[in-house]
Amino acid sequence: MLNPERHAESNYSEKPHLIHGRCQAAHWDFGHHVVPPASASVAYRLDSAKRGARGFQEFGHDHGEGEHVDLYDRLDEPNRAMLEENLAYAECGECAVTFASGMAAISAVLCNCARAGDHVLSHQVLYGCTHSLLHNWLPRFGIENSSADFTRLESAKPHLRPNTRVVYFETPVNPDLTLIDIGGVAHWLQEINRQRRPEQRVWLVVDNTFSTPYGQRPLTQGADLVVSSLTKNIGGFGTDLGGVAVGPACFEPGWLSFRKDFGGVLSPRNAWNFLVYGLPTLSVRFRQQQESAKKLARFLERHPCVEKVRYPGLPSFPQKELAEKQMKDYDGRFAPGTMLHFCLREVGAPGESALKFIDCLAKNSYTITLAVSLGQVRTLVEHPYSMTHSPITADPAGVTRVDPAGIRLSVGLEKADDLIHDLSGAFEEVFQPGSPTNS
Ligand SMILES: *Cc1c(COP(=O)(O)O)cnc(C)c1O
């Protein structure tokens, strides 16, 4: 497994590695292919009963050493194994385990770190399904949770409990692009963990879906574990669901075993798409989308009908210093990302102009599509309050944490000028109905 020191020594920049990865996985004997062959075999022929028995005994523990015995797709599979090598490399982690979706990866990570009687402390705004997992499902298995505002670390500290095993957040936060200081939280937890017995330590888990490893590597900033939805910018084309957990090698057996028994396995076909199309094109897509996002952020900020825009690349971004410290691409350049969040001047009840604006885009825009998900070649717009984050806003305790006026924009590969053209049309329709350009 490559590590950050070896990265630094490398004669190559990072980008060729995302294209070539390692893809060597000697035990699969695919060394002669330029593109790894897509494999599709649920079960594997065994030479002897003894070999089969050894495969089951060693499952999850034999990585990188000795002869590999393949048994069944739900346990291990060549396309996934190659993708996992490359994802661990991209995130600067020791091991990566893929899952059927981002949510399957998050479930596996939380259930490996915490058990009945333990507590998970999270940031107060999370992707809606992660919130629902913590609030609706894990308590049934005895895992408690509570939330705090991790943008103000001093105010979050008192929420840590003796039975807290996980501190969990996204940065940037979905949907409003608030940032959380990974290094700051990591530093505090290192102090805490020094005073705790190893089995009582707190694990810092960061959801890196928005930035992707191209734009930020939380493990190099003190996070213990990273989760990501491969469905989003790593997949990039909006064709496949997937998720990944990355972290120290000691987690690999537990994650593999959880995946085997709960069954949230990434399909080999999806793994092949991420391996062959998604990861190798991540850098070039991300950079292009980010350039457009910067232009759109400046356009929106200057627009008289826009109340506020949040984009880490704007000089007005309230956490600009933190953004520049932790959001960096592989070459060390500032990587403010491909996502925008903005609010319009209100014309009626809270959120009314946002919904009108989104409906105008859905009806008239060619380049901007009303849809959830993000990180695709197509620009997508959505209303987090009523859609992706409705599990939070449906909860009386969470209703004020997501802005009803907020609009989330995931910038794709269209030309920025074309996107601005379609946004301008929607502004006119909402704020100057009947103007000649709309008739
Ligand atoms: C979409 C998303 C997830 C869940 O990923 P799926 O692949 O849809 O299961 C988790 N976290 C964040 C921040 C997301 O945007």
CA angle 278, 361, 243 (to 5 degrees): 25
Contact 94, 46 (CB under 8 A): no
| 103 touches ligand 1 (CB under 6 Å) | yes
CA angle 19, 297, 365 (to 5 degrees): 85
Cα 103 to averaged position of ligand 1 atoms, centre (Å): 6
Q: 279-302 and 416-431 helices cross at what angle (nearest 10)?
A: 40
Would you state the structure tokens that stand for residue 284, as one six-digit string?
């070039």
Collect all residues with Cβ–Cβ distance below 8 Å to 171 and sequence separation of at least 6.
178, 179, 180, 182, 206, 207, 208, 210, 211, 216, 218, 326
Read off the DSSP letter of residue 277: I
b/e 314-333 (16+ beta carbons within 10 angstroms → b): beebebbebbebbbbbbeee
Distance CA 277, CA 36 (A): 11
Residue 167's Cβ-count burial label (10 Å; 0-12, 13-18, 19+) is buried
Read off the DSSP letter of residue 239: -
Side chain identity at 48, as an amino acid letter? S
Cα 392 to averaged position of ligand 1 atoms, centre (Å): 15
Which residue is listed with tokens 């035990």?
A: 27
pLDDT recorded at residue 439: 42
Per-residue model confidence as pLDDT tens digits over 314-343: 999 999 999 999 999 999 999 999 999 999
Would you state the structure tokens that stand for residue 381, as one six-digit string?
């717009």
What is the β-pairing status of strands 306-310 and 119-123? unpaired
Instruction: Return the best residue to mutate from 174, 380, 388 for the ligand 1 pocket (most ligand atoms within 8 A of CB).
Output: 174
Cα 209 to averaged position of ligand 1 atoms, centre (Å): 7
**pTM exceeding 0.85:** yes
Cα 129 to averaged position of ligand 1 atoms, centre (Å): 8
Domains and CATH numbers, the chain: 282-430 (3.90.1150.10)
Contact 108, 253 (CB under 8 A): no
Distance CA 171, CA 218 (A): 9
| 174 touches ligand 1 (CB under 6 Å) | yes
Closest atom of ligand 1 to CA, residue 230: 7
| 274 touches ligand 1 (CB under 6 Å) | no
b/e 83-106 (16+ beta carbons within 10 angstroms → b): bbbbbbbbbbbbbbbbbbbbbbbb
Nearest to 380, CA basis, from 231, 271, 218: 231
| 357 touches ligand 1 (CB under 6 Å) | no
Dihedral Cα 246, 247, 253, 256, nearest 10 deg = -10
Sign of CA dihedral 113, 116, 117, 120: positive
CA distances from 115 to 164, 243, 412 (A): 11, 22, 40
| 151 touches ligand 1 (CB under 6 Å) | no
Cα 127 to averaged position of ligand 1 atoms, centre (Å): 7
Q: 3-state class of 341 per DSSP?
A: strand
Cα 102 to averaged position of ligand 1 atoms, centre (Å): 5
pLDDT recorded at residue 388: 93
pLDDT recorded at residue 61: 75
Atom 6 (ligand 1): residue with closest C-alpha?
A: 102
Instruction: Return the best residue to mutate from 232, 244, 265, 374 for the ligand 1 pocket (most ligand atoms within 8 A of CB).
Output: 232
Would you state the structure tokens that stand for residue 127, as one six-digit string?
């992707």
pLDDT recorded at residue 68: 75
Distance CA 410, CA 67 (A): 44
User: Residues in the chain with pLDDT < 50?
Assistant: 1-5, 7-9, 438-439
- What is the tally of helices (H) and strands (E) in the chain? 16, 12
Nearest to 204, CA basis, from 110, 117, 343: 110
pLDDT recorded at residue 36: 84
Q: 3-state class of 308 per DSSP?
A: strand
pLDDT recorded at residue 438: 44
pLDDT recorded at residue 84: 95
Contact 263, 74 (CB under 8 A): yes
pLDDT recorded at residue 382: 97
pLDDT recorded at residue 58: 85
Q: 3-state class of 343 per DSSP?
A: strand
